[in-house]
Each structure stands twice: as C-alpha cells, then as structure tokens.
Amino acid sequence: MKLIRLNNYEIEADDELLLLKPFRKLFNQDRSGSKKNFYDFLMVLYFTYDLRSDFQYIVDEKERLKEVCEANGIPLYKFSPLEKECITLYKKMMVTSSSQLLQSTRVAVEKVRKFLENDADPALRDNNNKPIYPINTIVSAIKQIPQLAKDLIDAEKAVNKELTEQNSVRGSQELTVTEVWRQQGI
C-alpha cells in the first residue's frame, strides 16, 4: 500500500491513512498548524519500515532506525505507545508473500556477508589442526555473491511491482483500505 509517499522531497500521507484510527489519533494530537510532529513521525516510519525505503538493506530494525535518524539529523527516535501502535498496523499492511520472502532473502544474504566478513578465516583451525573453513569453501561462497546480489535485486523489484499492482484495480480505480485488508486477511 502507498499510504505514505515521497513527493518533491516531502513526505505525504494518503487520505486513507487518516481513516486508520491510530494514525488519525496521532494526527489530531499534533496541535501545530503544520503537523510537523506527525509528518516527522511519518518520515521515520517510511524510511525505517516501508518496503520501498532505501534503508531496507539494513536487516536489523534497530540499526535501520538509528541510521534513519542519523541521516535525517534527528536524535534517536523514541516511539510513544500510540506511535508503536501505528508502526504495528503499518507493518501489517505492508506484508505480502513476496515481502516475506524478500525479508528472508535479506536475512540470508546478511548471514553470508557476516560469514565472509567475520568467520571465513582459512587460518582458523579445529582441534586436529585442520582448517575450519578450507579455502575452497570460502572461494565457493565468494563466487556465489554476484548471483545472490542479482537475486536480491530481482526480489526487490518483484515486491515493488506487487505493491504497485496491489493498489491498482482495473482502469484508474484504487483499492480501499478495507479491500486491501480483505486481500491480506487482516
């Protein structure tokens, strides 16, 4: 769903977002005329939890949140209970079969990256003085990296396409929030 989008370097909320009770409550709590606090939260929400965010390469959500805050020059964001409720709902609405597979793929690629970075040392020996990771195992893992990267990019494209198509119906009509919920079993 595209409940939050970027447009001309600004975060925008789709009208349907405010039909969701926790988001409406959060919007109404912000007494400023510009709704700056609400839109700051949406910015953090988008970059930290939206599948279209460029920060999705960071698998760990806490690390991603930290990077988002640093990149936007704001202190580490502390979420209120209402904001946490909004995050939970938003994450549920972003879930698709493809997105779950993509997340699993990212986790697997991250494990391979960590293995090569931290563990793949041919000098490490077991109790019998044999290499724990023979050089051919390490080289084999390295040779698979281009295919893993390509597969990950293809999976990201498939998820983005699915999210785009999920919002569209025949012609220029769009699905309502409840229609999307029904599709996702929410």
Whether 27 is in a domain gets the answer yes
Using one digit for the tens of pLDDT, what is the confidence trace for 61-102? 999 999 999 998 888 888 999 999 999 999 888 877 777 788
Q: In terms of domains, do 90 and 106 share one?
A: no
Q: How far apart are CA 43 and CA 124, in angstroms?
A: 45
Q: In terms of domains, do 34 and 108 share one?
A: no
Q: In terms of domains, do 105 and 138 share one?
A: yes
Domain that holds residue 79: 4-94
Using one digit for the tens of pLDDT, what is the confidence trace for 43-67? 999 999 988 888 988 989 999 999 9
User: Who wins on pLDDT, 164 or 108?
Assistant: 108
How many other β-carbons are positioned within 10 Å of the β-carbon of residue 159?
A: 22
Whether 186 is in a domain gets the answer no
Question: Residue 154 carries which DSSP code?
Answer: H
User: Structure pTM?
Assistant: 0.64
Number of domains observed in the structure of the chain: 2
Q: In terms of domains, do 84 and 126 share one?
A: no
Whether 180 is in a domain gets the answer no
